[in-house]
Structure formats: C-alpha cells, structure tokens
Amino acid sequence: MKADSYKKGKEKDPNLPMRKRVQSEIIAWFWVGLAFLLINGTIGQARVIPSGSMENTLLIGDHLIMSRIGYDAGVPFTGWHMRLWRNPKRQQIVIFKPPYNPALPDYVKRVIGLPGETVDIHDGSVWIDGKRLEEPYTLGKTESPDPSASSIKLPYNVPENCYFVMGDNRGNSLDSRYWGCMPRKNLIGTPVMIYMSLDASPGAWDTGEIFQRFLAYANALVHPSSVRWRRLFRLF
C-alpha cells in the first residue's frame, strides 16, 4: 500500500497549474542546456576540415570529434577560454586559434618544433636541433618559404610556451613557416576521431555557408557514394 502511494506521488499531477508545469519544463531544459555547455566547453566539440593543408591525413569534408580534455576549457559561443595542464607532443595534430588573427576559423596543423628547440628547413626536410625529422605523413617536399612572404627567419628558435606547427600538405599550408610559432594559450584541443567524411564542393565547408552545407548533407542522403565510408571512425 505504501509503495503504491509512493509511485503515485512521483507521477506528474495532471491537475498541476499551468504556471507550475511551465516552470518545471524550464528547469528541466535549463539543466539540459547547462550539461551541453559543460560538455562543449571542457570535454569535446565537433569540427569540419575546410581546406587541403593537412592532406592526405585529413581531407576536405572530414568531420572530427575534438577532445579538449586537459588542454583547454572555455565558454561556448564566447572568446573566453583557459589553458589547462596538458601540453602537445611532437607530431601530434592540434586545433588552435590562428595567432595572427584569433577571429578566423580554427586551424588544424601538426606540432613539429617544441619550446626551446631550433627548427630549420633545407634539403626538402625539417631539421630539429641539427637532426633530420622523419615525417612519413607529408605530401610534397618540405621547403622554406620565400623570405618576402614570411615573418620569420630560419633557423628559428622556438620561444617558451610556443610551438612550431606545419600542415602535412607542405606545398599548400599557411603555417609557422610564414607567421611564426603557435602560442600555447591558443591551443584548443586535439582530434580524436573522424565521425563523417563527405566528398562535396570545398566551398560547402567555408564559414557561413549554411545553405551549401545543407545541400552537401542532403546529397549524401540521396547519393550515399559521396560518403567516404572507409574514413569513418578513424582514430588519431
């Protein structure tokens, strides 16, 4: 008898005043929204690759799950974020705010030089403190930029709390060779997995192209062959 009374007490009262029901729904959605903000701000986010600077490791239209755990915490839809305790390792792929203009979309590059190291580029390769770096993931020859197009001079001494980053597609990457190192404070996170990959017009993934993205997703439903199925769930 007591158990039946308890269950009835836990059920929603259909005669509850409208004001109370609305208030209950608002509170429930508030907690859902708060959970989303916490996850989005401290655990992970989604990203899409808009350019070919990381080919063939990452292709235009690859959709990534990014982990922020230990690297950065922030408030979604704002510019506020805070550096956490983890630091990236050499040859790790990272996602960060462009140092020369944080208002631009996030960049995705690979960590090459660590703080305190000397980075040089010659003979088609990267050299760290005088030793050649083995890079089986690159596309094209690694070359120094035209001095007139670069703000740095090689050999380059990487400052403290800074990282020398480069795209895997060395002939098509605006990276540390041109604008210098990536400050640690600009780091947001690192990719964990490709959850979707679509072969669509590159313009569909540009910032603000909502209609073009809608068409790309709609085309994938009608033509499943536009999905790069073999790339799905690839881990980093």
Query: What secondary structure does DSSP assign to the chain, as a single string?
Result: -HHHHHHHHHS--TTS-HHHHHHHHHHHHHHHHHHHHHHHHHTEEEEE--SSTTTTTS-TTEEEEEE-TTTEEE-TTSS-EEE-S--PPTT-EEEE--TT-TTSPPEEEEEEE-TT-EEEEETTEEEETTEEPP-TT-BS---PPPGGG-SS-SSEEPPTTEEEEE-SBTTS--SHHHH--EEGGGEEEEEEEEEEEB---GGGGSTT-HHHHHHHHHHHHH-GGGB-GGGTTEE-
Whether the Cβ atoms of residue 168 and residue 156 lie closer than 8 Å to each other: no
Residues carrying an active site annotation:
53, 109
Label residue 26 exposed, middle or buried (CB < 10 Å: 0-12, 13-18, 19+). Answer: exposed
